[in-house]
Copies of this chain bind each other. A is one copy, B any other.
């Protein structure tokens, strides 16, 4: 039942291409997984699909893989971003993981008025969660995780061609109308304390914003993220 080890590498992939391993990767493959020279794993880099790659050199702190053959073409997700207000650490990591599995192309942590100050975000850690999720879930693409930014700043620079699906427990949303709604989108998940009145008024006033209802129960932010991504993927995405 064991499936092939999948590894994200930050290196070009192609027939015969040699891929050097980082110290962490060598440790994982050769000390943890105990793979010998000649073993075949799957590698992907988010750009060139997935490749079978053979262990050419195995050391404690370094190693080399040789690409053998492409096994999956690059599968890009739809042009969908996920914006969310960071919550406590573990659940923020979950949101990034879920966004990757569910096929978001970009993940943007945003600070709102009611975002707890304690909910700091380390972009590098979250990006690593996106990579791990792509490794685990058979993906060939890794969404970019942006640095935390104020929602007001993000909205000031917004391209109005990108529609914004806005999930907020205090609003009753219409169903997502499918016709003529193809194109770039973003989903915005509010903070656990909800949006402030000023934020809500601003969001309501945006031409490119649409509201979405996620049922009669209050959902946690990580649940709401998966639910909203499901609704969008079913109506407008690649499901």
Contact = CB atoms under 8 A, between A and B. Distances in A.
Interface of A: 1, 75, 94, 97-98, 101-103, 114, 136-139, 193, 213-220, 223, 226-227, 229-231, 233-234, 237-239
Main secondary structure of the interface of A (DSSP, over half): loop
Nearest to A169: B138
A137 B220 contact: yes
A98 B226 CA distance: 10
Given A226-B226, A227-B230, A138 B238 contact: no
Contacts of A233: 215
Contacts of A218: 101, 137-138
Given A1-B114, A101-B220, A215 B238 contact: yes
Given A97-B223, A102-B227, 14 more contacts: A101-B217, A101-B220, A102-B217, A103-B216, A139-B217, A213-B239, A214-B230, A215-B238, A226-B227, A226-B230, A227-B229, A227-B230, A230-B231, A234-B234
A216 B75 contact: yes
Contact of A223 (B1, B101, B215, B238): B101
